[in-house]
Amino acid sequence: MKNLIVTTCLAMSAAVMGNSYAQSQPATATASGQTTGLTLAQAMQLALDNHPTLRIARREIDAQTGALMQAGARPNPELSVLQEDFRNASRTTTFQLTQPIELAGKRHYRVEAGEAAQRVASLDAQTAETTVRSEVVARYFETLSATALVALTTETQDIAQDTYAATRRRVQAGKISPVDEGRAQIALNNAQIEVASARASLSRARGRLSQALGVSDMTLPQQLAGDLDALPQLPVWSSLVAALPSTPAMRSASEEINRRDAMARLERAQRVPDVSVSLGLKRVTDSGRTDNQAVVGLSIPLPIFDTRRGAAMEAAQRADMARDAYDGVRQQQQALLQASYAEFSAVREATLSLRDNILPQAERAYDATRRGFLLGKFGFLDVLDAQRTLSQARSQYMTSIANTYAAYATASLAVGGMVDGVALLSPEYLSSALSTSPNPPTSAK
């Protein structure tokens, strides 16, 4: 006859294992219906308010506004006073106002380049915000799944501890072989290792989440509110590809071409000398008699030694470099989208398989093994093996969920976070697009 303590322990273990996944899910609402824990929307707002990268991007926009203002400024006039002979009876004083005049459209090209630079800064800020949003989504659900994994491994450890204690008592009573106690001890040690590993993973995940939010780990709330059963969905592949040319990164690279072209035109215009027009008054005193004379002048530098040929060549090459950079950004975005979409399709399908097939089968196998053990049809080793299989399946499921959101965030980043006017990385869209039983997307061709 099986020992009553062992059977009772296994029955309790089955109940705990059956409910451990549900218990591991972070609570999203209290009995009164109020949300508890840090929501994705709150986390996103924290990042938008505190992330240093976004603050830098906003300051760059302000800096380029100042640069544009400066680019439109005209040259200042110059006032000069020339005194010849300091004797009152024979001195000559000249007052002269000189105004430089820019030729060949230099000011126009400066303003044109400044406007393009301001647009580049604005688009770069959008890219930075999309990057931060993508990182927040990935790290938030990574931390959420890591938290659930800690709860699952802790439950498994408690089960292993109870099983080991019951097995030890049976061995001391001489009813089973000491080999079973060793097996139970190994199972307990493995469970303890899994708990330590899960806690370390959670600590690392919280650190990455804190960095993504731009806050310290000490100020990060301990609890997160989210649904790990729900999986995100990407738009169809054709819509994602069509969105690539309009991403902030691509538009920024295009505006950089415009800026470099304007700079090249400016450098060519710099080869045309500017003229300076002078207008003044010359007061001549001779033997106590004063005579006022008008002074008019025109000066122009002679481009003999410095023709700015090298600067014009440099600007032309940098304009060509901007075009090459545009091609590089386009290829990079396309490669990133294709790789991340394929990864998303694969891990999402694996997650659905774990949730809908593998986990239910593992739970049924564990329940059948436990019942068979109670009836004397299976040995203790079979129960441990089924329990370990179920624990591994749940651990894989948590990891797969985190990988699904990471791939989703990367694919959304590749298209600039926007497809057909829909913000893929907004908490509102994620809340509305999440589904517990969606069909996996079509793989990229």
Amino acid 300: pLDDT:
95
pLDDT reading at 1 higher than 90: no
Q: Angle between the 4-24 and 380-414 helix axes, to the nearest 10 degrees?
A: 10
Q: How far apart are CA 408 and CA 72, in angstroms?
A: 44
Q: How far apart are CA 418 and CA 426, in angstroms?
A: 10
Residue at 285 is within a domain: yes
Specify the higher pLDDT residue, 400 or 437: 400
Region 78-95: what's the mean pLDDT? 89
3-state secondary structure of 3: coil
Q: In angstroms, how far is the first alpha carbon of the chain from the final one?
A: 61
Residue at 443 is within a domain: no
356 DSSP assignment: I
Amino acid 151: pLDDT:
93
pLDDT reading at 150 higher than 90: yes
Residues 232-284 pLDDT 10s? 999 999 999 999 999 999 999 999 999 999 999 999 999 999 999 999 999 99
Region 366-374: what's the mean pLDDT? 79
Amino acid 433: pLDDT:
64
Q: How far apart are CA 184 and CA 102, in angstroms?
A: 89
CA quadruple 119, 121, 122, 124: dihedral sign: positive
Least confident stretch, 62-71, 280-289, 325-334, 408-417 = 280-289
pLDDT reading at 98 higher than 80: yes
Provide the token pair at 207.
């650190």
The domain tally of the chain equals 1
Q: Which of 99, 62, 71 is closest to 266 using CA atoms?
A: 71
- Residue 121: pLDDT band with limits 50, 70, 90: very high
Q: What is the CATH number of the domain that holds 65?
A: 1.20.1600.10
Q: Which of 393, 395, 397, 367 is closest to 382 using CA atoms?
A: 367
Average pLDDT value for the chain: 87
Chain centroid to CA 4: how far? 55
The structure tokens 């040929």 sit at 309
Length of the chain: 445
Region 95-117: what's the mean pLDDT? 97
Residue at 439 is within a domain: no
Amino acid 24: pLDDT:
44
Residue 268 to residues 262, 264, 304, 443, Cα–Cα distance (Å): 10, 6, 16, 50
Query: 393: domain range?
Result: 4-299+306-433
Region 117-121: what's the mean pLDDT? 98
| Cα dihedral 398→402→408→410 (10° resolution) | -160
Residue at 444 is within a domain: no
Provide the token pair at 254.
């295009």
Residue at 122 is within a domain: yes
Residue at 286 is within a domain: yes
Amino acid 423: pLDDT:
94
Amino acid 123: pLDDT:
98
Q: What percent of the chain has pLDDT over 70?
A: 88
Region 45-74: what's the mean pLDDT? 96
Q: What percent of the chain has pLDDT over 90?
A: 66
Region 146-175: what's the mean pLDDT? 85
Residue at 438 is within a domain: no
Amino acid 23: pLDDT:
41
Residue at 442 is within a domain: no
Q: How far apart are CA 335 and CA 407, in angstroms?
A: 14
Q: How far apart are CA 250 and CA 257, in angstroms?
A: 11
